Each structure stands twice: as C-alpha cells, then as structure tokens.
Amino acid sequence: MADAKMMSQITGKDGFIAALDQSGGSTPGALRLYGIAESSYSGDEEMYRLVHEMRVRIMTSPAFSGDKVIGAILFEKTMDGDAKGKPVPTYLWEDRGVVPFLKVDKGLAAEENGAQVMKPMPELDALLARAVKKGIFGTKMRSVIANADKTGIAAVVKQQFEVGKQILGHGLVPIIEPEVSIKSPTKQEAEAILRDEIARELDALPAGEQVMLKLTIPTVADFYKPLVDHKAVARLVALSGGYTCPDACEKLSHNHGMIASFSRALAEDLRVSMSDAEFNDTLGKAIDQIYKASVVKV
C-alpha cells in the first residue's frame, strides 16, 4: 500500500515532479549540457559519479523543496546513493519534503510499427522489493511513439499497463510513460490513438487502483483532460520532450490539470562552473517558471 501522506501530496498538492533520472545513453548528454565534456572522464563509474554529484547539488539546493517540487524521479544508482549522509530517498522525503520515485525501465527495444516498447525487465520484482525497502513511493518507465500506427501504439500501452500492474502489486504507484516524439510528423494523430488506448486500459483497472500518467504535451490544449478526470488516474504529468524550458512551460500552461515532470528543461541552464549562489539562483528561477506553468493555467 502506497504511503498515505505521500499519496496525498502527489494527488493534491500544487507543484511539479523533477525528473533526475537520466541513464545510460542520456547521461553523457546531461553532463555535456552541465559543462562536463566526455573527454574529461573515463568509464561508466566516473560518469555516474559525476552525474550523481550534479543531482545531489540540485537536490540539496535551498530552491529544491516540497514547497514547489512535490516529487523527484531517480535513476537506480541515485536511489542507492547518499545525500548529506542519508540515503537519497530518505533525504528527499525527510529533509526536503519531496516524494521519491524510481525509474525502472532498462531502455527501449528496436522500433516496430512506429513505436519502441521497453526492453525486458527480468529482475523487476527484485528491484521493486528493494525500492520499497528504501522508501520509494512510485516508479517511472518510458516507451516512445514515433508515428500514428495503431498497432505500435496499442503494443506500447498494453506493455506499460501490464508492467504497471506488476508494480501496483508491490504497493508502488507506477507512472505510465508512453512518450509521443515531438518530432513525429503525425503527432496529433498519434495522440488521438494513444488517448483511446490509455482510456481502455484505465477502464479495465480494478476499482480503487490508480496509476499516474506521464505524457508529451499535446498538440491541442486540454486534449488529455478526459484522462486527468479519470478515477483511475492519480495525477497526469507532462514531459518536456526536448522543448526548451520557456517553450515547454508556455505549452503546459494551456493544459488544465496537467503538471510538469521535466528533466532537461529543469537543468538546461545549470553549469558545473557556477558558484553555489549562481547555481541556486538559476535553479530557483527554473523551478519558479515550471511551478507557475504547472499551477497557473491560461
């Protein structure tokens, strides 16, 4: 059973969810944006140490608190790491008032029928059991949709909900994330198929069970409002999808009931060379901008 106090915050509090879960192939890009070139480190171990230091710097900033950041999605190595001498999930909740989530997918399979399902996760049950012990509230897993292909989209949604039920079985709240690429030539058509497929799966969930949804900001404002209002949806959050922070926030501000769960858009102006004062000020401005777009709607 999900923690009641965390559930209350996630379902009802104003704010947004920070995505601090870059992994594998996206980590070098995140470090490069932060000002750390690939030539300045050697091997995965050093790479993950550097990105952990970046994430801890964000999490321990005075600007990063449950006042505006209601949750944070963690990479597995971040969940296993420490911040200020405490396990990261414990630090986030006890010291910052931020609900911890865990990214659980292992990347994407090859594209088929215009979409990429998730790679198999044979060790998922063991990971979920470990996450529960560490105080994690929920999980996130990402698939990608490139084209408006009903077969491909249906496969993505079916897999997401099958794994989501496995996660619910551990007392965790899954974030279902079937991302529609912002570069898709048929983005709007794909969103129409996706909405119908998700609604069908939500209707089939047992009474009382809830999931979260993480979706690309739709082409038509409020297109996902029927999902926001569905009794099986605890919260609907938006991914930035490659949009800049100003663009993502502007688009998000037109979607009622949808809050941000941004990664790149949150950290895009942060640099390793910044003084603590500069870093905290820059992060604070990004948090304020994303919070406003999540709460104040046009």
- Written as six digits, the tokens of 130 are 């470990």
Letter string b/e over residues 14-52, b meaning 16 or more CB atoms within 10 A of that residue's CB:
ebbbbbbbbbeeebbebbebbebeeeebeeeeebbebbb
Catalytic residue among 106, 140, 214, 251: 214
Q: Which long-range contacts (CB under 8 A, 24 or more apart) does 129-133 make?
A: 129/170, 131/79, 131/102, 131/104, 131/170, 131/172, 132/170, 132/171, 132/172
State whether residue 273 is helix, strand or coil. coil
Which has the closest alpha carbon to 139: 168, 166, 174, 109? 174
In the numeric block, the tokens 């379902």 are attached to: 11
Which has the closest alpha carbon to 240: 220, 267, 213, 260? 260
Catalytic residue among 68, 106, 177, 187: 177
Is 214 a catalytic site residue?
yes
Is 177 a catalytic site residue?
yes
The answer to whether the CB of 256 falls within 8 A of the CB of 225 is: yes
Catalytic residues: 177, 214
